[in-house]
Amino acid sequence: MIEFLKINNVIDYILGRESIYILLLVILNIINLCLFYKNKNLLLFNGLLLLLLYFIISSRPDKKILILAMTHFTFWGVVTESFIIRNTNNTLYYKDSTKPFNVPLWLIPIYCLFCISAIYTYNIFKMLF
């Protein structure tokens, strides 16, 4: 009986409004990357706009904590990726990186999206186990 309740809770969570918002955020970011991959400024602007819209329409109670987590994750993601690229003697590189970083700035909203998705996935597994 407990296992059935866990699965029901997970299904309710996955089909909930916040889950749909996160799924739309992921899909719209993929579309953004596919349509505007040649314009890094538009990629950055659209990505940040999508995040802003998510926070406006979301009713999650932990928005401030999520913003802090995203900022932390994004900062260290950019720093670490830049460090790795620099120490591989540019074997790995982005053709449109932003100096002094070795990564493009349009990755900032992508790292934020990774953080949101990771927390979302964590919550699903937390409910299951």
The DSSP letter of residue 11 is H
Q: What are 30-46's pLDDT values in tens digits?
A: 999 999 999 999 999 99
Q: What are 10-20's pLDDT values in tens digits?
A: 899 999 999 99
CA dihedral 123, 11, 60, 128 (to 10 degrees): -20
- The average pLDDT across 78-87 equals 91
d(CA 113, CA 50): 10
Which band of pLDDT confidence, cut at 50, 70 and 90, is reported for residue 99?
Answer: confident
Query: What is the pLDDT at residue 2?
Result: 61
d(CA 98, CA 25): 25
Residues with Cβ < 8 Å from 4, sequence gap 6 or more?
none
- For the chain, percent of residues with pLDDT exceeding 90: 73
Q: Is 86's pLDDT higher than 80? A: yes
Query: What is the pLDDT at residue 97?
Result: 84
Number of C-beta neighbours around residue 59 at 10 A = 8
Which of residues 56 and 9 earns the better pLDDT score? 56
Per-residue CA distances from 82 to 89, 92, 99, 102, 109 (Å)? 11, 10, 10, 5, 16
- The average pLDDT across 64-91 equals 92
- The average pLDDT across 77-83 equals 93
Per-domain boundaries in the chain: 2-128
